[in-house]
Amino acid sequence: MKISKKGKHKSKVFSFLENFTFSFVSNLLSLLVSIITILIVPKFLGVTQYGYWQLYLLYISYTGVMQLGWCDGVYLRYGGAKYEDLNKRLISSQFWYISIFYILFSLLLYVPIFSLKEFLNVQMVLWALVSGFITTPRGILYYVLQATNRIKEFAKISIIDRVVFGIILVALLLMGFKDYHIVIASDLVGKLFAFGLSVYYCKDMVFVKLSNVYESITEAKENLNAGFKLMVSNIASILIIGIVRFNIERNWGVEVFGKISLTLSVSNLVMVFINAISIILFPMLRRVSNQQLPYIYRDIRTLLMVPILFMLVIYYPLKELLLLWLPHYKEGIEYLALLFPLIVYESKMALLINTYLKSLRKEKVMLIINTFTVFLSLLTCFTTVYLINSIDITILSIVALLAIRCVLAELYIAKVLNIHVIKDITFELLLNTVFIISSWIIGGGIGLCLYIIVVIIYFFLKRKDIINTFSSLKSLLSK
């Protein structure tokens, strides 16, 4: 019995909406847990204890370098494939080999870590290594589920991770435990539960006879070759802000570091929703013809940037609520005016630019742009922290660095896809500049009114693009 084109279209639309729903719910729960860790944890722990928790999270973000791109290679090479078509024995060998590799790598780093105790918080680094022991082998399974569009299973794993973490954390805090160690322990238990569930969903891939050593090593080499540039690019991406955060902690102390980290966390809350879409977008784009990529890019760009630029208005009530709830973090919350525009550039990078570069297999371009921005971050940080010694300019430089990276990457994609984005980039730069002036310098009701007026003008200028985007949504869902 043949299925009509209309039936296939409905099936694909339903599949997309189902995947998006699971991914959205997963990220919504992650958002709720993030709100707990951002608003509740600092209230209970205090400024210094919260600063150490943030330092642990910072170190965790760099444990991915120990994979050498292994997991990233699996994601890139199998993106768009069907789960049932995978060579389970070959993937299983990657799961077990990377587990052994991580343990040996961690042991080799043990002595060097202690030799760098003047520059690193050794205890936090060791906790981060323990976390990596759980997340590294899980990463293979995570990426396989994402690459093969098994979003429901992936979403459930993410849900169990954050829900277990949130429940244990809240329970311990209510019982009177007020130490950053209990937050770290809760995080590790949540990761452990998620690891167990990922193994359960991929048991036909984990508990099978491994491929022979030659095939396994050959597969590992191909994954490393494919993923190394992407891994270095991802680490460089983290370093752009990480370098600034490291130097803030060294120059102004862990308390100031904690306050600024809180503000960065608040600014990145919206990324939870962006991730709901980006997770399912990559395997979908791998199945789309190159001729359609420019049209899809323009549509997604409009759907993303128009509401994001309007969402900056949320800053004004959000700042007042945070000041009421966390008065001890007033110094950091004030900087929300400078850091809130991060959501514009980080959202575009996560959902659109990085997804397209990976789909086009332009990891080298990602690496070059991110590495250039890292060197720029080092230069900027040295100037603003040690020469000028101004935390205001240092924090403002974070937004400037991410804006530069985003613009360079988008200009490259525009060249590849043969589309025009300079006008839109200029609009966005102007709106972000107006936002910073209206919130940091002017402030209050006048600042809010000024930004709303500018946004309304932007909507008017973009009205045709918005109408055209909604009329062409079916072309995206039908692929």
pLDDT tens digits for range 354-401: 878 877 778 788 888 888 998 998 899 889 888 888 888 888 888 899
Alpha-carbon span 187 to 60, nearest angstrom: 11
CA 159, CA 181: separation in Å to the nearest integer? 23
Q: What is the CA radius of gyration of the chain?
A: 23
pLDDT tens digits, 417-463: 888 888 888 988 999 999 999 888 887 788 889 998 998 888 888 88
In the prediction, which pLDDT does 261 show?
A: 75
> What's the pLDDT score for residue 430?
92
pTM for the predicted model, two decimal places: 0.70
Collapsing DSSP to helix, strand or coil, 475 comes out as helix
| C-beta separation of 342 from 268 below 8 A | yes
Structure tokens at 94: 């990657």
pLDDT at 1: 42
Mean pLDDT of 288-315: 79
Which range among 47-51, 294-298, 432-436 has the greatest average pLDDT?
A: 432-436
Q: How far apart are CA 401 and CA 309, in angstroms?
A: 19
Question: Any idea what DSSP says for residue 290?
Answer: T
φ/ψ bin of 342: left (φ > 0), alpha (ψ from -120 to 50), beta (otherwise):
alpha
DSSP state of 419: -
**pLDDT (0 to 100) of residue 119:** 60
pLDDT, greater one: 165 or 291: 165
Closest CA to 461 of 437, 422, 427: 427
- Rounded to whole angstroms, the Cα distance separating 38 from 43 reads 9
Confidence band for 238, pLDDT divided at 50, 70 and 90: confident
Q: Which of the pair, 441 or 112, is modelled with greater confidence?
A: 441
The 3-state secondary structure of 84-153, one letter per residue: HHCCHHHHHHHHHHHHHHHHHHHHHHHHHHHHCCCCCCHHHHHHHHHHHHHHHHHHHHHHHHHHCCCHHH
Query: Residue 197 contacts by C-beta under 8 Å, 6 or more apart in sequence?
Result: 156, 157, 160
Torsion-angle region of 328 (φ positive above 0: left; ψ -120 to 50: alpha; else: beta) = alpha
8-state DSSP, 312? G
b/e code 462-476 from CB counts within 10 Å (16+ = b) = beeeeeebeeeeeeb
Amino acid of residue 394: T
CA 269 to CA 218: how far, in whole Å? 40
Look at the block and give the residue holding tokens 């946004």.
455
